Amino acid sequence: MTPSDSRTGDTLIVWKLDRLARSMKQLIETIENLRVRGIGFRSLTEALDTTTAQGRLVFHMFGVLAEFERSLIRERTQAGLAAARRAGRTGGRPPKLTDDDIEAAKAMLAKPDIGVTQIAHRLGVSSATLYRYIPAARTANTPGV
Q: How confident is the model at residue 102, as a pLDDT?
A: 93
Q: Which residues pair with 48 in a beta bridge?
A: 43
Kindly report, residue by residue over 5-20, the tens digit of the pLDDT: 777 888 888 888 777 8
In the CATH scheme, what is the homologous superfamily, with its name and number, of domain 3-86? Resolvase, N-terminal catalytic domain (3.40.50.1390)
Q: Domain ranges for the chain, please list them.
A: 3-86, 99-137
* pTM over the 0.85 mark: no
Residue 2 binned pLDDT confidence (cut-offs 50, 70, 90): low
Question: At 142, is the secondary structure helix, strand, or coil?
Answer: coil
Residue 25 binned pLDDT confidence (cut-offs 50, 70, 90): confident
Residues with Cβ < 8 Å from 98, sequence gap 6 or more? Answer: none
Q: How confident is the model at residue 7, as a pLDDT?
A: 79
Residue 75 binned pLDDT confidence (cut-offs 50, 70, 90): very high
Q: Answer whether 85's CB lies under 8 Å from 113's CB.
A: no
Question: At 10, is the secondary structure helix, strand, or coil?
Answer: coil
Length of the chain: 145
Query: What are φ and ψ of residue 15, in 5° steps?
Result: -70, -45
Question: At 11, is the secondary structure helix, strand, or coil?
Answer: strand
Residue 144 binned pLDDT confidence (cut-offs 50, 70, 90): very low
> What's the one-letter identity of residue 41?
F
Total Cβ atoms within 10 A of residue 59: 20
Determine what percent of the chain is predicted with pLDDT higher than 90: 33
Q: Which residues pair with 12 in a beta bridge?
A: 41
Q: How confident is the model at residue 142, as a pLDDT?
A: 47
